[in-house]
C-alpha cells in the first residue's frame, strides 16, 4: 500500500433553496494522490473548497461525482472500513467540553471497539506523545486553546489511524503553540502516519508539508513538493518598490523591463514589482541600470527565492493574503 | 451487540454530563412540584363529578406527569446545537459507531431523568391525596417513557437540522404549548366544546394523556391504553428512523 489517498474527479455541489435553485459548486473536479507516510498540505484561501473536500474524504459528506480510495478502501462502498482507518480533527475541534480529557480519550477508544484496558493504555500513550498527561484529569472546558487542540489531535489518533486528517489545525493558536503542534505532527509522520492537513497559512504549508496541493475555487491549481512548485516559477525573485510619486507609472516600468530576456515574468502587486529571474545576482545590476536610465528611484529592493505566495499569485492571479481573512505571513 | 455497548457508553457520557450540572436536575424537578403545590390547590373547588372521578387530584397528577415527560425530552436539542458548533457531532460521525447509538445515548438519559424525578413527584402527590395503583403506574411510566423518547429524538433532530438555539427555541416552544394544551394535560378535554375535542384527535399526545388517566385508576387492559401504546410505538418508529437519517447527513 503505497498510496494513502487516491482521488479522481471529485465533485460536490450544494443547492441553496432560498436563492431559487442556486447551485454552488464547492468542489469542481479534484484529483490528487497522497503517498503513505507523508505530510500532505492542502492549501487555499477560505471558501476554496478545502473543508468540503476533507469532509467527503472523511465520510462526513456524500460524494456527488468522482472516485476516491482512502487507506485502500473505496469511499463510496466501504464507508465503515474507511472510518476504521482514518482519524479526523475538524476545524471546530470536537472535544467534549463537559467531560475530562481522559474520559474523552477513553470514550473515543471504546467507540473504535477497544476494551477498557486497551483504551486506557492507548490514552496513556497519547498523553505521552502529545504531552498532555497533566491535563487529562481536568474538565476539557478549563483547557486553553493550545491544550484543547492537542487533546483533539490525540482524539483523532486514538485508533492509530493510517491516515490522519487535520482541518486547519493551527488556526487560532499563538506562534509558540503553533510551532509546538508542528513538531508533534512531524513526530506522528515519523511514526508512520500519513497526514493530510488543510491550511490557509503559506508558511505552514511550506514548513510542514512534504508535498502539497493548492486549491482555488473548487479546483486544484498546482500540486507538488514546495520546492518543485517554487522552481516552476523561477529560481529567484526581485521585489522592487519605487518612490511613491512614480507609482502611477506601473505600465512604464513594465514596458521598460519587458524586453529584457533574463526576466521571465513581471507582476505588479500593489505598489511593488515582482521580477521572476533565473539568477538575481546576474540580473540585479542590469535592473539597477535600467531603472536609473528610466529615471526611476528605488525605495526598497530585495532579492529572494520565490515563496508559495508567488506560486499562488502565478496560479490564481492574486495573493493568498488578499483573499483570506488575513493573518498570512 | 456492538450497538448495545456503544449505546451504553454514550448513555454514560450523557448521564455524567447531567450529574455534573445538578442545577438542571433541580430545575427539571421544580416544574412538576410547582404545579403540584401552586396549581393543584386551585382544583379543590372543582366538582369531581364533572370530571368523572373520585378526586380531582387523580385526574390532575397523570396529566401533569405527561407534561413532565414531554418537557424532559425537549432539552437535548440545545445541547446538540452546541455540540454541532463545537464539532463533537462531527467527531462522533467519523467513528464507525452506530448512528442509532448516538441517538439512543441521550434519549435513554432523558428517560432516566424523567423516571427518577417522577417517582419523587408521585410520592409528593400522595400527600395531596393522590391514589397510587402500582401496576397501573408501572405501565403508565412505560408509556410516558415512550413519550419522552419521541420528544427527545425530535428535539435532537431539530437541533441537528436548525443548528441554532434561537430557531430551535421558536420551533420547540411553538410546538410544545399547542400540543400539550390540545391533549388536556391539565384538565380533561371532555370539559371543552366539541370542536376542541375534534382537533385533539389529531394530536398523538391526546391519546397518551387519556390513557394515563385510565392507568392511574389501576386499569391496564383497556382500549384507551392499547390505542395510546399503538400511537406511541408507531410514532417512535417514525421519529427514530427520521432522526437516524438526520444523524447520517448532518454537517456543521
Contact at 8 Å (CB) between B86 and A93? yes
Fold of A3-223: Rossmann fold (3.40.50)
pLDDT interval class at B252 (50, 70, 90):
low
Chain A, chain B: beta-carbon pairs less than 8 Å apart: 71
Q: List CB contacts of A149: < 8 A, sequence separation 6 or more.
A: A93, A169, A170, A173, A177, A181
Q: Looking at residue A11, what is its pLDDT?
A: 93
Contact B95 A112 (CB under 8 A): yes
Query: If you average pLDDT over residues B227-243, what whole number do you get?
Result: 97
- By Cβ distance, the residue of A59, A97, A139 closest to B86 is A97
ipTM score for this prediction: 0.89
pLDDT interval class at A280 (50, 70, 90):
confident
pLDDT interval class at B11 (50, 70, 90):
very high
Query: Which residue has better confidence, A318 or A77?
Result: A77
Contact B252 A96 (CB under 8 A): no
Percent of chain B with pLDDT strictly greater than 70: 96
pLDDT interval class at B251 (50, 70, 90):
low
* Residue from B7, B8, B85, B94 to probe the interface with A (highest A Cβ count within 10 Å): B94
Q: Looking at residue A263, what is its pLDDT?
A: 82
Fold of A235-305: Alpha-Beta Plaits (3.30.70)
Q: Looking at residue A21, what is its pLDDT?
A: 66
pLDDT interval class at A223 (50, 70, 90):
very high
Contact B251 A84 (CB under 8 A): no
Q: Which residues of chain A does B18 touch, with a Cβ-Cβ cutoff of 8 Å?
A: none
What confidence tens digit (pLDDT) does each residue in B43-87 have?
A: 777 766 666 666 788 888 999 999 999 999 999 999 999 999 999
Q: Measured between CB atoms, does B95 come within 8 Å of chain A?
A: yes
- By Cβ distance, the residue of B6, B17, B86 closest to A94 is B86
> How many Cβ atoms are within 10 Å of A191's Cβ, its own excluded?
11
Q: Looking at residue A328, what is its pLDDT?
A: 32
Q: At what angle do helices B56-74 and B22-34 cross, to 10 degrees?
A: 150
- Answer whether residue A83 shows pLDDT above 70: yes
- Answer whether residue A329 shows pLDDT above 50: no
pLDDT interval class at A324 (50, 70, 90):
very low
What confidence tens digit (pLDDT) does each residue in A158-207 have?
A: 999 999 999 999 888 888 888 888 998 998 899 899 999 998 888 899 99
How distant is the Cα of A73 from the closest Cα of chain B, in angstroms? 14
What confidence tens digit (pLDDT) does each residue in A145-166 have?
A: 889 999 999 999 999 999 999 9
Domain boundaries in chain A? 3-223, 235-305
Q: Looking at residue A255, what is its pLDDT?
A: 74
Distance, CA of A221 to CA of A207 (rounded, Å): 20
Is A304 in a helix, a strand, or coil?
strand
What confidence tens digit (pLDDT) does each residue in A102-138 have?
A: 999 999 999 999 999 999 999 999 998 888 999 999 9
Nearest CA in chain B to A63: B249
Contact B2 A113 (CB under 8 A): yes
Distance, CA of A222 to CA of A5 (rounded, Å): 17
Query: If you average pLDDT over residues B173-198, what whole number do you get?
Result: 89
Q: Which residues of chain A does B92 touch, with a Cβ-Cβ cutoff of 8 Å?
A: 111
- Answer whether residue A88 shows pLDDT above 80: yes
Distance, CA of A11 to CA of A30 (rounded, Å): 7
How distant is the Cα of A149 from the closest Cα of chain B, in angstroms? 12
> How many Cβ atoms are within 10 Å of B46's Cβ, its own excluded?
14
Mean pLDDT of chain A: 86
**Helix residue ranges, H only, A191-324:** 202-208, 226-233, 250-258, 280-293, 308-316, 320-323
Whether the model pTM is above 0.90:
no
Domain boundaries in chain B? 2-249
Q: Looking at residue A273, what is its pLDDT?
A: 83
Amino acid at each position: 500500500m503505497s498510496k494513502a489517498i487516491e482521488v479522481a474527479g471529485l465533485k460536490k455541489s450544494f443547492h441553496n433553496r432560498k436563492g431559487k435553485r442556486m447551485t454552488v459548486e464547492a468542489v469542481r473536479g479534484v484529483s490528487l494522490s497522497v503517498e503513505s507516510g507523508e505530510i500532505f498540505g492542502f492549501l487555499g484561501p477560505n471558501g476554496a473548497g478545502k473543508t468540503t473536500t476533507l469532509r467527503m474524504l472523511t465520510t462526513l459528506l456524500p460524494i456527488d461525482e468522482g472516485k476516491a480510495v482512502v487507506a485502500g478502501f473505496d469511499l463510496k462502498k466501504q464507508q465503515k472500513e474507511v472510518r476504521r482507518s482514518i482519524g479526523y480533527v475538524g476545524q471546530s475541534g470536537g472535544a467534549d467540553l463537559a467531560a475530562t480529557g481522559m474520559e474523552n480519550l477513553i470514550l473515543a477508544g471504546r467507540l473504535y471497539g477497544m476494551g477498557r484496558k486497551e483504551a486506557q493504555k492507548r490514552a496513556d500513550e497519547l498523553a505521552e506523545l502529545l504531552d498532555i498527561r497533566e491535563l487529562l484529569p481536568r474538565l476539557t472546558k478549563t483547557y486553553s486553546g493550545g491544550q484543547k487542540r492537542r487533546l483533539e489531535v490525540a482524539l483523532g489518533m486514538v485508533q492509530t489511524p493510517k491516515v490522519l486528517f487535520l482541518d486547519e489545525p493551527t488556526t487560532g493558536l499563538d506562534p509558540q503553540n503553533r510551532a509546538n503542534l508542528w513538531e508533534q505532527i512531524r513526530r506522528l509522520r515519523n511514526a508512520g502516519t500519513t497526514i493530510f492537513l488543510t491550511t490557509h497559512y503559506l508558511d505552514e504549508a511550506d514548513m510542514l508539508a512534504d508535498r502539497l496541493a493548492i486549491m482555488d475555487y473548487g479546483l486544484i491549481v498546482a500540486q507538488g513538493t514546495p520546492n518543485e512548485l517554487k522552481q516552476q516559477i523561477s529560481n529567484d525573485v526581485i521585489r522592487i518598490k519605487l518612490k511613491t510619486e512614480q507609482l502611477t507609472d506601473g505600465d512604464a516600468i513594465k514596458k521598460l523591463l519587458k524586453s529584457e530576456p533574463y526576466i521571465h515574468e513581471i507582476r505588479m502587486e500593489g505598489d511593488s514589482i515582482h521580477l521572476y529571474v533565473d539568477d538575481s545576482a546576474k540580473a540585479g545590476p542590469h535592473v539597477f541600470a535600467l531603472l536609473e536610465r528610466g529615471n526611476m528611484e528605488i525605495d526598497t529592493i530585495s532579492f529572494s527565492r520565490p515563496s508559495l505566495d508567488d506560486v499562488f499569485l502565478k496560479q490564481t492571479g492574486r495573493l493568498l493574503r488578499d483573499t483570506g481573512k488575513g493573518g498570512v505571513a | 451487540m456492538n450497538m448495545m455497548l456503544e449505546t451504553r457508553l454514550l448513555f454514560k457520557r450523557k448521564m455524567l454530563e447531567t450529574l455534573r450540572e445538578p442545577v438542571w436536575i433541580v430545575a427539571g424537578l421544580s416544574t412538576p412540584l410547582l404545579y403540584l403545590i401552586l396549581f393543584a390547590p386551585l382544583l379543590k373547588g372543582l366538582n369531581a363529578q364533572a370530571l368523572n372521578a373520585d378526586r380531582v387530584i387523580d385526574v390532575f397528577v397523570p396529566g401533569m406527569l405527561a407534561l413532565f415527560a414531554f418537557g424532559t425530552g425537549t432539552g437535548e436539542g440545545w445541547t446538540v446545537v452546541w455540540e454541532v458548533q463545537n464539532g463533537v457531532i462531527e467527531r462522533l460521525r467519523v467513528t464507525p459507531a452506530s448512528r442509532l447509538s448516538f441517538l439512543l445515548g441521550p434519549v435513554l438519559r432523558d428517560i432516566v431523568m424523567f423516571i427518577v424525578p417522577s417517582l419523587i413527584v408521585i410520592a409528593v402527590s400522595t400527600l395531596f391525596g393522590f391514589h397510587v395503583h402500582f401496576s397501573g403506574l408501572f405501565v403508565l411510566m412505560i408509556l410516558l417513557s415512550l413519550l419522552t423518547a419521541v420528544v427527545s429524538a425530535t428535539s435532537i433532530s431539530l437541533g441537528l437540522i436548525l443548528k441554532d438555539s434561537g430557531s430551535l427555541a421558536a420551533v420547540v416552544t411553538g410546538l410544545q404549548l399547542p400540543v400539550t394544551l390540545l391533549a388536556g394535560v391539565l384538565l380533561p378535554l371532555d370539559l371543552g366544546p366539541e370542536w376542541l375535542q375534534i382537533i385533539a384527535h389529531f394530536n398523538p399526545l391526546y391519546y397518551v394523556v387519556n390513557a394515563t388517566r385510565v392507568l392511574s385508576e389501576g386499569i391496564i387492559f383497556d382500549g384507551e391504553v392499547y390505542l395510546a401504546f399503538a400511537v406511541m410505538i408507531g410514532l417512535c418508529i417514525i421519529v427514530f428512523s427520521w432522526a437516524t437519517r438526520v444523524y447520517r447527513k448532518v454537517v456543521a
